[in-house]
Amino acid sequence: MSKLHADYYADSMQQIESPLVRNEQIAEDTFLIRVDAPEIARRVVPGQFVMIRLSQTDAPLIGRALAVYNVVNDESGDPRWIDLVYLRKGTMTTALAASPLDRSVTVWGPLGNGFSNRSCDHLIMVAGGIGQTPMLLLGREALGSQQFGLDSRSNGWSNQVTLIYGARRKGLLAGVNDFKEAGFEVELCTDDGSEGQQKLVPDVLKERLERLPAKARVRVVTCGPEIMMEKVSEICESAKIDCQVSMETPMACGIGICFSCVAQVKQDGPEEWDYKRTCVEGPIFDSHKICWS
Ligand SMILES: Cc1cc2nc3c(=O)[nH]c(=O)nc-3n(C[C@H](O)[C@H](O)[C@H](O)COP(=O)(O)OP(=O)(O)OC[C@H]3O[C@@H](n4cnc5c(N)ncnc54)[C@H](O)[C@@H]3O)c2cc1C
Ligand code: FES
């Protein structure tokens, strides 16, 4: 399982209140918000998330977890803003999408453990649905174009970054230009063939792995629907490739108190498993540790 670092536990989280600096539609039912959160921006590492609530209302009462999509620097190069990308789905995201720019939100984070930055030759990121949101930071760190975290963890740890990204249809693909501009090789697929290959992302991954040189040190990370991550995990396990998953179990507190977010995680013994809180012991786990349902 990913090693936890004390700086990344919830006890180093910051809570801020900020007006929405941006709130704009970037794809079908998909929006990007920007909040002024320098204390979070300079602490966050790829794969971490924040909890967000609309301030001064209790509808909804409970915050929602959103992965940190981007960290934006101010004029002097210091991290200042964080961008979050969300799919308009239910109570919170519908209210957020309808919010004007000066609407105040409460954000606490960064939370969770974050992806590993173990070096490799080729990082392959596999995303489905809204699961592309943690990938921009990770790919930029891997290629060495941005550094993250209070202890400036190492960057430039992969020679090549590929994003395999699938959605139901073309309109739902969000942030594709950001990924291309960051220097990732982007392979798109859609269920209806309206953009890229008409294939499922695990099948694209399998074909890609078969084409790679036998000695390439490959790492895979994945985020998206659980069924997709399970398939990606199976492919990596049979190819003996290191794979980390970002679990998106529903959360209430985000700081380890309520146990609403647990996932079944395998322990050392063959039949042993335990509940782990995705918000503090995850959301990133080694894929072979997850007891897929
Ligand atoms: C670590 C982590 C990171 C995450 N990162 C992101 C991210 O970057 N971007 C993102 O968009 N989400 C992300 N999520 C999911 C996010 O936290 C919310 O669960 C999601 O945005 C839905 O919140 P909501 O209040 O809009 O929906 P809720 O009201 O909480 O609804 C929950 C579910 O009920 C269903 N539902 C609710 N209302 C309706 C309706 N009227 N019709 C049909 N179905 C309905 C939907 O399927 C929905 O998924 C993440 C979750 C975790 C745990
Ligand atoms: S969300 Fe409360 S313990 Fe994880």
Taking the domain 120-289, which CATH number applies?
A: 3.40.50.80
Q: Look at residue 192 and tell me whether its pLDDT is greater than 60.
A: yes
Q: Look at residue 8 and tell me whether its pLDDT is greater than 70.
A: no
Distance 2 CA to ligand 2 centre (A): 18
User: HSE (CB half, 13 Å, CA atoms) of 260?
Assistant: 13
CB atoms within 10 A of CB 214: 4
Best residue for ligand 1 mutational test, from 2, 57, 66, 221 (most atoms within 8 Å of Cβ): 66
Distance 154 CA to ligand 1 centre (A): 32
Helix (H, G, I), strand (E, B) or coil at 261: coil
Distance 72 CA to ligand 1 centre (A): 25
Token pair 């539609």 in the structure block, residue: 25
CATH code 3.40.50.80 region(s) in the chain: 120-289
Tell me how far apart the alpha carbons of residues 126 and 95 are, in angstroms, rounded to a whole number. 29
Architecture of the CATH domain 6-111: Beta Barrel (2.40)
What is residue 51's predicted lDDT score, i.e. its pLDDT?
A: 97
Tell me how far apart the alpha carbons of residues 162 and 183 are, in angstroms, rounded to a whole number. 9
Give tens-digit pLDDT for 45-72: 999 999 999 999 988 999 999 999 999 9
Q: Look at residue 2 and tell me whether its pLDDT is greater than 50.
A: no
Contacts of 120 (CB under 8 A, 6+ apart): 157, 158, 217, 218, 219, 242
* pTM of the complete model: 0.95
- Which helix H or strand E contains 206, and what residues bound it? helix 201-211
Q: Which residues line ligand 2 (CB under 6 A)?
A: 251-254, 256-261, 277, 279
Give tens-digit pLDDT for 31-45: 999 999 999 999 999
Q: What's at 2, amino acid-wise?
A: S
Q: Which regions of 37-156 does DSSP assign to beta strands (E)? A: 49-54, 64-73, 79-87, 104-111, 120-128
- Give the confidence band of 152 by pLDDT, cuts at 50, 70, 90: confident
CATH code 2.40.30.10 region(s) in the chain: 6-111
Give tens-digit pLDDT for 9-29: 677 899 999 999 999 999 999
Tell me how far apart the alpha carbons of residues 213 and 225 are, in angstroms, rounded to a whole number. 29
67 within 8 A of 47, measured Cβ to Cβ:
yes
Give tens-digit pLDDT for 71-99: 999 999 999 999 999 999 999 999 999 99
Q: Which residues line ligand 1 (CB under 6 A)?
A: 49, 64-67, 85-87, 89-93, 130, 133, 248-251, 283
Ligand nearest to the CA of 32: 1
Best residue for ligand 2 mutational test, from 49, 61, 260, 275 (most atoms within 8 Å of Cβ): 260
Residue ID of nearest Cα to ligand 1 atom 39: 90
Tokens of residue 101, six digits: 């720019």
- Give the confidence band of 7 by pLDDT, cuts at 50, 70, 90: low
